[in-house]
Structure 1
Amino acid sequence: MAGSQPLAKTPDWSMLPPELLQIIARKLPDISDFVKFRAVCTTWRSSACVSDPPPQLPWFLEEAGFLLEEAGYFKSNLHFYSLFSGKIHTIHSPNSSGNRVRGPGHDYIVLYNAASCQISLLNPLTGRKVVLPFLDIAIAGLQPIWVGPDPIESGEPVVFSGYSADFKTGILAFYQPVAREWVVIKEPCSCSLRCHYFNGMYYVNEDENEDTKVIDIVTRKVVHVVPPPTEDDYECDGIMRKTYLVQSGGDILLVVFHYDELLEMADCHFHIFRLDLRSGNGGKPRWVKISSIGDQILFLDENNGFSLSCRDFSGFRGNSIYFIKRHQDMHDRSLSLLCRYDIEEARVEPLNCPFVKGGTWIVPSLR
């Protein structure tokens, strides 16, 4: 027909340069978008390698039932909340059924079977399960305090803590993937909930006097004992507090959460201290109060946490903390809110996560 325009050609997206595809793939901070990207065609899949994924924002894994006998025991479906998209992802995971699921972790979460005392690592996205050698010691309150990125392939240790059966001795269990063996350290203290591991050192907060012991994993000796911050540093009149030990940007931080389940959001706040082992205060190590953690973001569950840099995630601000705030409902059940704390403004904001049973964090991975 005279004057008709030729039909525009549909672009062949598979012909995009590999260099451009790699740039695009590296800017997908939610693993679900990364999976969809790889599913477009063979060219896109080869440009987005699962062994070198883009930095991922953590997903929040929902805890199990409200009842005491159900708490922590998972069935075959795991439910995750994505900070980036605000969506819920449900993953069928038969390996998790009947186990207690523990975190936080990178790539893997920890499965603990109370009947057999079997400890395993599970990547919930790929379904890969790694059964660890039997730990020939009874540990009450088993809790992972460090599950780093891809521990099986990288050889990074997996670190657990807990108590002896009489709750008089703290137990630190260090699994070495390369040697496939455990190193166990026992300390006459309660150290299950406030521990951390970083660069060959255990950091253990004692319940009784709140000192922090620094233990060399090789020699198994205490190399430093750090007294707690003074009460003047806390400024927490009448408010309960919970403490965390977290590695952030190469520093060990003592993060103190001041809260009450009956208080409003505005009345909850954090104080943060950096461990100074080379202190000018007579050469004694100490905790130094800080007002900023720079571009770092802390992700805390009920007991432990980890840190990531906001530079890897456009639209997410650093100097902040994602955490769980407990409160009581009309049935006297303890419910959970997922919240963000702006350190500079000392302000708490609730997030739109629908999970109210609590949970933990995992950095998802296809490795």
Structure 2
Amino acid sequence: MGNRRVALTRCSSSSKRRRGSSYWVPDLPEDVVNQIGWRVLAGDDGGILDFVRFRAVCRHWRYSTASPNGRGIADRRFHPRRWIMLPEGHNLHPGHGKLRGFIRFLNLTTGAIVRVHLPLFRDHCALDSVDGILLLQRDGDTAIRLLHPFTGDIAEFPPLDTLLPYVAHPLFMRNKWRCLRCVNAASISTTNDDNKTISLTMRLFGMVRVVFAAQGDKQWRLSTWPMQPDDHLSPLSFQGKIYVLRRLPNHGGDHQEILQIDPPQRTTTTMELSLPPPKLIAKCPAKSFHLVQCGEDIMVITLDFTHYPQMLVYRLSDLVLGIMVPVTCIGCDYSLFLGNRNLCVSSKAFPTIVGGTIVFYHNSECYLARYHIRSGTLSPKSDSDFIVRSKMSSPTGIIQHIYTCCFPSYWNKGHLASRREPNQWRVKRKWRHGVSLASGVIILFEHLLFFSSTTIRRSLQLIDILLIIGFFPNIKVICYLQS
């Protein structure tokens, strides 16, 4: 320890070094240190935290690299991409008194866990996470704020209550707040002008149009084009853009489309922000349900349980040409978790996670399943019945916590994903809860008797999605209706 202190002292002051000394740190040119720092920042192992440690080595390294403070949100390179807020469970929601203002974050590549003091959760709730940037709602005025958990940078956006008149889905007219607080997808971008304005784009559940705003705006803007009802399935935020799957029922049902929603752009005449219409990127098989980011690639996962369980994986190898390549192996070091958010997790960092597999909830068998991509075999996890237990047993494994990260409506309330644990706010329901929709589901179910079997099946899939994201507090009733 003593030698380390001496080394650090001499590293910070090159004037006291003797000629021919072996302390090489200050001798690195400034541009070399800067390039090394960017490479450290671009790595998935630690990203922004490794970059902070790199800058802390000595004064010369700190002066030769860019400071993340004040740039944590505007510059995408400083986003904590592989870090995600870790759900505690046991009703310990962010801001709970027993946590004393600390929030834990998990690195999906290294398995590292860090505690960050974020006392603002006393009057904020987390709605989503975009590249590690937390999307928060402030209690009282429902203002949306972006928070970088490691630098403390905050970007201010308009309140959610300005969107209440635009909730148009008939199923959610009695509970508009639940729609607005269910962020289907979000993306963060920065304008290319001199001001470098931060903009936020959100696809909210139950809204026909995409909403967007610039930092400091007082009112949300709406896209001039609508989204289809099925465009909410498996959205993906990737490199500042939103990708969604669109079903094409009028084309024989043999394929689906992958659409790309670009960030807002300023018009050349009025310089106002506008949202370009979606672009068709590629076509994929009709039974595609999930888009997953795996490294720098987008994966498309198809599910076919008609005769025997089968899941196919495609890699979108070229976003410009829309080329999709079948994949028989994602590598032994990665596992995909599917839910409302899809995650790519390193199996090397978590011994209980098997590489080359897809973890998802099997609706027919009611257990958390593990699908082996190479062999095409399906097996339940050893403790996969946790999701259907009436009460969550303790202790819980890391897989339960990672799987819950796929459902923001659970981890922001202190719950772990469970089909029979009510997904309700226990505190501050005035700002975060809303009106129950259980009666609306019963009415919907009664009307389904007059439709075709295909319509009933798709509607029950919608109910199943709503069940997971927490729209229905009376879970036992809904499970009985589906049976």
The TM-score, its normalising length taken from structure 2, stands at: 0.46
Residue identity matched to 1:244 = L
Which runs of 5 or more structure 1 residues have no equivalent in the other structure?
1-8, 235-241, 260-266, 280-284, 362-367
Q: What per-residue deviation string (whole Å, max 9, x for no partner) do you get for residues 225-277 of structure 1?
A: 9876245xx7xxxxxxx52276986x865334689xxxxxxx88552264999
- Are 1:245 and 1:253, in contact at CA under 8 Å, matched by a contact in 2? yes
CA distance in 2, matches of 1:22, 1:39: 14
- The Cα shift of 1:321 comes to 8.3
Alignment of 1:259-298 (within 5 A): 270-272=312-314, 274=316, 288=324, 290-291=326-327
CA distance in 1, matches of 2:113, 2:261: 41
Q: What per-residue deviation string (whole Å, max 9, x for no partner) do you get for residues 173-211 of structure 1?
A: 123449776332444515444335679986543579585
- 1:80–1:288 Cα change, 3 Å: same
Q: RMSD in angstroms over aligned alpha carbons? A: 5.6
CA distance in 2, matches of 1:205, 1:193: 6
- The Cα shift of 1:78 comes to 1.8
- 1:46–1:162 Cα change, 3 Å: same
Query: 2:86 corresponds to which residue?
Result: 62
- Are 1:151 and 1:177, in contact at CA under 8 Å, matched by a contact in 2? no
Alignment of 1:1-367 (within 5 A): 11-12=22-23, 14-19=25-30, 20-28=32-40, 29=43, 30=46, 31-51=48-68, 58-65=82-89, 76-106=101-131, 108-113=133-138, 116-135=141-160, 136-138=162-164, 139-143=179-183, 145-148=185-188, 154-155=196-197, 157-164=199-206, 169-177=207-215, 182-185=220-223, 186-187=226-227, 189-196=229-236, 203-205=243-245, 209=249, 211-212=256-257, 214=259, 229-230=285-286, 242-244=289-291, 254-256=300-302, 270-272=312-314, 274=316, 288=324, 290-291=326-327, 302-304=339-341, 325=360, 354=398, 356-357=400-401, 358-359=404-405
Q: What per-residue deviation string (whole Å, max 9, x for no partner) do you get for residues 104-136 of structure 1?
A: 423622112466432110011111222202241
- Are 2:282 and 2:324, in contact at CA under 8 Å, matched by a contact in 1? no
Query: 1:5 corresponds to which residue?
Result: none
CA distance in 2, matches of 1:201, 1:216: 6
Using the TM superposition, name which of 91-100 and 172-181 deviates more: 172-181
Structure label with greater radius of gyration:
2
Residue identity matched to 1:175 = A
CA distance in 2, matches of 1:127, 1:54: 12
CA distance in 1, matches of 2:375, 2:114: 32
CA distance in 2, matches of 1:171, 1:73: 32
- Are 1:37 and 1:44, in contact at CA under 8 Å, matched by a contact in 2? yes
The residue matched to 2:111 in structure 1 has which SS? coil
CA distance in 2, matches of 1:302, 1:175: 27
- 1:219–1:154 Cα change, 3 Å: closer
Which runs of 5 or more structure 2 residues have no equivalent in the other structure?
1-17, 69-74, 165-178, 263-273, 350-354, 383-396, 408-483
- Report the structure, 1 or 2, having the larger helix content: 2
CA distance in 1, matches of 2:357, 2:191: 24
Residue identity matched to 2:63 = S
- Report the structure, 1 or 2, having the larger strand content: 1
- The Cα shift of 1:93 comes to 0.8
CA distance in 1, matches of 2:317, 2:54: 42
CA distance in 1, matches of 2:303, 2:103: 28
The TM-score, its normalising length taken from structure 1, stands at: 0.58
- The Cα shift of 1:77 comes to 1.9
